Structure 1
Amino acid sequence: MTLTADSTPPLPANDRPDAPAHGGTVDYVVEQLRDGMLQGRFAPGQRLVEADLTRELRVSRGPLREAFRRLSAEGLIEIVPHRGALVRRLTQREMTELFQIRSSLEALAARLAAAGVADPEVRARFEADIAPIWNDGPRMASLDYIDENHRFHDAIVAASGNAQLLRLTRQLRLPVLMYQLIGSLKAENIAASLAEHRAIARAILAGDGAAAERCVTAHLRRAVGIAEAMPERVFGR
């Protein structure tokens, strides 16, 4: 099947979710659409076709449209008159502002995590969650790298023990953010990011909250610089 900006690719047969009981729920549809954005099935700027999605998710138009409204309120999609729902493409300013906010929140999370890993259970879970960063294999600009990156940052916030931080940082780490950037990332960007992840992890595991905070701040400041240097075609207007 050839994809266009106005087509929604079908799920592979083995990956199609079972429809929820009682004809579907809004929460179910929201979750499926979010996952599709994270996995790259729905790209920034792509139109979400109601007919395709109701068939693939086996739900009616009512829950689907309510899911669109929720995701629009969260900033993940936009509803355009006469076009319908589109996966949102962030502007350069929006992307920079999101990274700036994340920098403050995740620096706090890293400092708290450095204290949190004094608990053996928290430490063991953190070490297990971040294990992929110690793999020396090459990283490609791919969905696998996006997933590893998200898991690493989630592990830091989880180790902080602050549930509200986890909620806020996940909202700010929009799936479309990384997917929008991924095609323009260079190998050296990914290598530098991995080195920074390892430095952050070492500081947290050493219980050095100040160093962990500094490392996260520097890491996300560099991300802002990368976003600001991206070509205009990457961004919305």
Structure 2
Amino acid sequence: MQRSTPSAHPPSTPDRVADAIGRAILTRRFTVGQRLIEADLTRDLGVSRSTVREAFRILASSGVVELTPHRGAVIRSLTRSDAEGLLGVLEVLTGLSARLAAANIGIGTNAKRFEAAARKLIEAETPAQLERILDERANYYRVMFDIADNAELSRVMPHTRAHLFRAQFHGVMTTADLRAMVAEYRGITAAILEGDPAKAEARARRHIRKTGERTLPRMSAFTLS
């Protein structure tokens, strides 16, 4: 029986606010360089100003926002060095998640859940479907990490910083890039559903490396901090 890590250790309110901001970055409600308005977040999320400020400090410590005098919290842009370092960590942790998910895929309803999470990614063909995969990835990885069922892995994964990376490069992905990503997700998904940990890890790590090859040369398209 799988553990229920989130319910055993529910995140604090500042953590939940930080997560909500991270999701808003992923969906591009908040964009690079935008100032986060404390009063708006207090109203929209129904929390105190002190809670929002603590969430800002959490995001600043993870390199997602910058706290500057007179401007408050501003969503930062990743530099090439930032992105290279992040991708190196994501490669290792995503590979481990895929390995563990493959090892656990036969437990309970894991295979059915993962198939459902993967469907919109691996079946994307039309331009509209391909565009949507950029937003479907977060759910795909969430389910993968859930099936991997390792509390420490989930704890150290830089989810919000990964959201920032995805949002920063959202607008520069070409149709060819998206089709390549679909092929890579098909390979990862097949290996996990086959219950092949070594193959799943290798394919997941290769996907992250290919992500770097697609994005890092385009860093000059951004005004870097």
Q: TM-score range by the shorter chain?
A: 0.7 to 0.9
Q: Is 2:207 the counterpart of 1:219? A: yes
Call closer, same or farther: CA 1:73–1:84 in 2, change over 3 Å.
same
The letter for the 2-side match of 1:208 is D
Q: Contact 1:77–1:88 at 8 Å: present in 2 too?
A: yes
Secondary structure of the structure 2 residue equivalent to 1:43: coil
Task: Measure how far apart 1:63 and its partner are.
Answer: 2.7
Partner Cα separation in structure 1 for residue 101 and residue 43 of structure 2: 44
Q: Which of 169, 177, 180 pairs up with 2:165?
A: 177
Q: Contact 2:122–2:183 at 8 Å: present in 1 too?
A: no
Task: Measure how far apart 1:93 and its partner are.
Answer: 1.0
Structure whose residues are more often helix by fraction: 2
1:1-237 paired onto structure 2 within 5 Å? 26-27=14-15, 29-57=17-45, 59-139=47-127, 144-171=132-159, 174-234=162-222, 236-237=224-225
Worse overlay, 180-189 or 145-154: 145-154
Partner Cα separation in structure 2 for residue 74 and residue 142 of structure 1: 30
Higher relative contact order (CA 8 A, sep 6+): 2
Deviations 1:123-151 (A, max 9, x none): 22222222222323425599843321122
Task: Measure how far apart 1:219 and its partner are.
Answer: 0.8
Partner Cα separation in structure 2 for residue 58 and residue 121 of structure 1: 35
Worse overlay, 164-173 or 205-214: 164-173
The letter for the 2-side match of 1:149 is R
What percentage of residue pairs aligned between the two structures are identical?
Answer: 34
Task: Measure how far apart 1:171 and its partner are.
Answer: 3.0
Partner Cα separation in structure 1 for residue 158 and residue 219 of structure 2: 26
TM-score normalised per structure 2:
0.83
Partner Cα separation in structure 2 for residue 157 and residue 144 of structure 1: 21
Superposed CA RMSD in Å reads: 2.4
Secondary structure of the structure 2 residue equivalent to 1:79: strand
Q: Contact 1:114–1:212 at 8 Å: present in 2 too?
A: yes
Call closer, same or farther: CA 1:235–1:174 in 2, change over 3 Å.
farther
Q: Show structure 1 runs of 5+ residues with no match.
A: 1-24
Aligned pairs, number: 213
Q: Contact 1:139–1:191 at 8 Å: present in 2 too?
A: no
Q: Contact 1:141–1:183 at 8 Å: present in 2 too?
A: no
